[in-house]
Amino acid sequence: MMSLAGKKIVLGVSGGIAAYKTPELVRRLRDRGADVRVAMTEAAKAFITPLSLQAVSGYPVSDSLLDPAAEAAMGHIELGKWADLVILAPATADLIARVAAGMANDLVSTICLATPSPVAVVPAMNQQMYRAAATQHKSGRHCRPRSAGLGPGQRQPGLRRCWPGAGCWTR
């Protein structure tokens, strides 16, 4: 098991059903010594509550680009600078497309633009959506030069192949 002692990770959660698995991901990252802060899109809150992620991360969850308290200190830029790694999990087709296009219309996509650190993209979608030309063009290494994609069939710690074309977290 790889140690993540002292590593600072921002977990960007988007609005897919796989979001319900993010508390377990946070717990596993923390068990390996990582300091984890969570940012989530508005759509993610339909699947998992900020309070649940706050409980497992030990930090308040950032969920709004327009939060006056956080933005007084330029919260999106601070989170981007703070991170050694940004993980987008689950990364919906929508989030992947927005990040690839350089859009900054929510906190998670803005953090991706503001960070000098690597961004790991963990796609979570139907196999047809994943195989679509637009998704393939924009996912993983195509998102930006310092991105790493974890696509179907790629075995990474904590991931398994659920059905052809979709990665999901193990239980």
pLDDT in tens, 112-166: 999 999 999 888 888 888 888 887 766 644 344 444 455 544 444 433 333 334 4
**What span, in angstroms and rounded, lies between the C-alpha atoms of 65 and 29?**
25
pLDDT tens sequence across 46-98: 999 999 999 999 999 999 887 766 555 567 788 999 999 999 999 999 999 89
CA distances from 163 to 33, 125, 128, 170 (A): 31, 11, 11, 13
Give pTM, 2 decimals.
0.82
Structural domains of the chain sorted by starting position, each given as residue range(s) with its CATH number in brackets: 8-169 (3.40.50.1950)
| C-beta atoms surrounding 129 within 10 Å | 16
pLDDT tens sequence across 102-124: 899 999 999 999 999 999 988 88
